[in-house]
C-alpha cells in the first residue's frame, strides 16, 4: 500500500494543477464547445477539483485506516456484518461512474475495529479507477490481513454508467460480485448466514 501511495505522490508532483486544468480545456474544445464562454470559464478548475475528490483514494492507505483496533471482545466470536455501504467509484475502461452498495462482514480473531472503519476501507479503494471485481477483492484481502480475521466476506451490487449511458445502454442492469476468505470460504454455513443477513 505504501508503494502505491508514494508512486502516486510522485506522479502528482510531476503534473501541476495548471496542467490538469489545461487538459480539461482541451477536452472541452475537443467535444465541440467554446471553453471561453462565460459558463465554462471556471469549469476546468472545478473539474480538476472534482477529479481530485473522485480519486482521492490514491493518496490514502487502507491499512492505516485499520491500525487502531480493540481487544475487549468479551468472548464475541461471531460475524460482524455491515450492510448497504454506499459505493461511488469510476470504471477504469471509460472513467464512467460506478454507483452501488457494498456489504462487508468479518469474523474477529482477537481484535475488532471501529464500525466506521469498515466503510472507510470501502471508500479508500472505491475512490480509484476500478473494476468491480478488483474492488471487491481489495476490500476483502485488506480486511483479512489487517485484522488477522478468521474470515471475511465482501459483496458489491452496482450499476455501471458505461453500460447504462453508452454502449449497450441497459439502464436496469446491475452487477453483483462476491469474495470470501477464511471461514466464509471454507464453511458454507457462515456464507449462507451472511447472504441471508444482507438480503434482509
List active site positions. 91-94, 132, 160, 162
Burial class for 140, CB neighbours closer than 10 Å (0-12, 13-18, 19+): buried
8 A C-beta contact, residue 29 and residue 36: no
- How many residues does the structure list for the chain? 200
Of the candidates 110, 122, 104, which has an alpha carbon nearest to the alpha carbon of residue 69?
110
8 A C-beta contact, residue 87 and residue 156: yes
Q: Strands 80-91, 129-130: parallel, antiparallel or unpaired by DSSP?
A: parallel
Question: CB neighbours (10 Å) of residue 188?
Answer: 11
Amino acid at each position: 500500500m505504501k508503494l502505491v501511495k508514494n508512486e502516486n505522490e510522485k506522479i502528482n508532483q510531476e503534473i501541476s494543477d495548471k496542467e490538469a486544468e489545461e487538459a480539461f480545456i482541451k477536452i472541452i474544445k475537443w467535444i465541440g464547445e467554446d471553453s471561453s464562454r462565460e459558463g465554462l470559464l471556471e469549469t476546468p478548475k472545478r473539474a480538476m477539483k472534482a477529479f481530485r475528490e473522485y480519486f482521492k483514494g490514491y493518496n490514502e492507505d487502507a491499512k492505516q485506516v485499520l491500525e487502531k483496533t480493540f481487544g475487549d471482545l468479551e468472548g464475541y466470536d461471531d460475524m460482524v456484518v455491515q450492510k448497504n455501504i454506499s459505493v461511488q467509484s469510476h470504471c477504469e475502461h471509460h472513467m464512467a461512474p460506478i454507483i452501488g452498495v457494498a456489504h462487508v462482514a468479518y469474523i474477529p480473531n482477537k481484535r475488532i475495529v471501529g464500525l466506521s472503519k469498515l466503510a472507510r476501507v470501502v471508500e479508500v479503494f472505491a475512490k480509484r479507477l476500478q473494476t468491480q471485481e478488483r474492488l471487491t477483492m481489495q476490500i476483502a484481502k485488506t480486511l483479512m490481513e489487517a485484522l488477522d480475521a478468521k474470515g471475511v466476506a465482501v459483496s458489491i451490487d452496482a450499476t455501471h454508467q458505461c453500460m447504462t449511458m453508452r454502449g449497450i445502454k441497459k439502464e436496469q442492469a446491475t452487477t453483483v460480485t462476491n469474495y470470501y476468505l477464511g471461514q466464509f470460504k471454507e464453511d458454507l454455513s457462515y456464507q449462507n448466514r451472511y447472504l441471508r443477513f444482507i438480503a434482509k
